[in-house]
Structure 1
Amino acid sequence: MNLLSRIKSVLLVSTIMFAAMQASARCGVLRWSIKTGSDQGISKIELSKIHPNTIENLIKLQAPKNLPQASRLSPTETEVYQLQATLLEVNQTDDLDYHLLIADSLGHQMIAEIPDQQCVANSSLLKNQIQSARNYIDQKMQVSHQPQKVNVPITLTGIGFFDVPHAQGAAANGIEIHPVLDITFSNTQKLNE
């Protein structure tokens, strides 16, 4: 291999590595393994046992005093919930999650999030469900960093998660659905063509 070919090879490998580092640097950090189902506690969750619930009930839960980085808070973070809600807004956050602002008919609001596939470890038992939920959103609309008003009834299924309240519409106790494992719009057409 001549010198020019070696230089090209090094540059190509460097470019690929830099792009991969840039992508992973944008993924989240705080309690990330729990948010994406790559934590050891994921095995405690009966994924086939879905608990119908309401935003009103979830936002009344006692907020935890501490948020452990690598362990789940039982029972809330070890249960799969299904909510009937209205999707008010969608946007993509800096950590590449789809950030969904949802509300019930009484006006109670909370956040649900769908991680980007490139931020979910291949070892995650939830990777395929997360990707399926994200693909569903992508089929319905183009998501950008700017919040888009949607206002469509949905059925949403995902795992309970306590986060630090960080966004408009976040529940005071920090409860979220993160990750969303399934979402269905009652409206079958695309939303922002």
Structure 2
Amino acid sequence: MMETGLTKPQMPIRARLAAARPPASFWFAGALVWGALMAATLAVSLYGIGRPASGHAPALFGIYFAGGALGWLLALPLIRFFSFRRRPETRFAAAFLFLSCGTMGATALLFALQYRMFYAQWHAPFGTVIWAFQFVFTSASAVYQFTALGSRHYLPLGVALLVAASLWLARRNR
């Protein structure tokens, strides 16, 4: 074996980092598909509760689509890094965890940014201590509101899609 100067713990990290970078076409096409599926879960949910069309529907569809797409873009390298050369159960768990947290987190972040843009007109000037408190608490309340009210739109279709995507990713990332 050729001497590389690397210790044993460093070699798997390099291999994992190399494996964590997904092919660009799969990364970006998957983001578009996952974003569209998350927007579809919103459509099914709104139709199910009898509110298929409202004045805020385009913005909501945009937030759910962009949250799904960003969630995929963030989750896929993490999934590939942590499931590198692991058993199928571990690959499934990594895909389920990172894809669900990435999608929900990105959507909550986008919701908080939109929420912040609306309330910014009543906030103190940028950079002041009061502005910092307003920014933090407005963002936190937006994330809470999304968690309490917006996450229900992922049920039940979003969970079924998440399980299917996790199974597919576990099988694909060997």
Shorter-normalised TM-score: what interval?
under 0.3
The structure with the greater share of residues assigned to helix is 2
Structure number with bigger Rg: 2
For normalisation by structure 2, the TM-score amounts to 0.25
The structure with the greater share of residues assigned to strand is 1
